[in-house]
Amino acid sequence: MKTVFEDPARLKQMKRAGIFSLALLVVIDLLIPRDHAIFPWDGIPGFYATFGFLATAVIIVVSKVIGHLFLMKREDYYDH
């Protein structure tokens, strides 16, 4: 039995749902008034949705690099 992430059709659905969610956040962000922006980037529509997505992507990439460099061992590590 395949898990949720191994089924290509389900994975495609999940990707579409994620993209739709991000687009919806940007649209909702356009409707929020920007009268009291404290920081310069507070006035940019969709900034926090984009920032959150990019920050998550960077965390994943850095975690994979750390895992490959420091945590993973060769397949024959215990054979010696």
Tell if the pTM clears 0.85, that is, is over it: no
Residue 36 falls within a domain, yes or no? yes
44 φψ region: left (φ > 0), alpha (ψ -120 to 50), beta (else):
beta
**The pLDDT of residue 1:** 66
Assess if residue 3 is contained within a domain.
Answer: no
> Would residue 60 count as lying in a domain?
yes
Residues 22 and 49: beta-carbon distance below 8 Å: yes
- Round to whole Å and give the CA distance between 78 and 54: 38
Domain ranges, residue 55 = 8-79
What would the pLDDT profile of 20-68 be if each residue is shown by its tens digit? 997 888 788 888 887 888 898 888 877 887 898 899 999 999 999 999 8
With respect to residue 66, please indicate whether it lies within any of the assigned structural domains.
Answer: yes
Residue 45 domain-assigned? yes
Domain count, the chain: 1
Query: Does residue 68 lie within any of the structural domains?
Result: yes
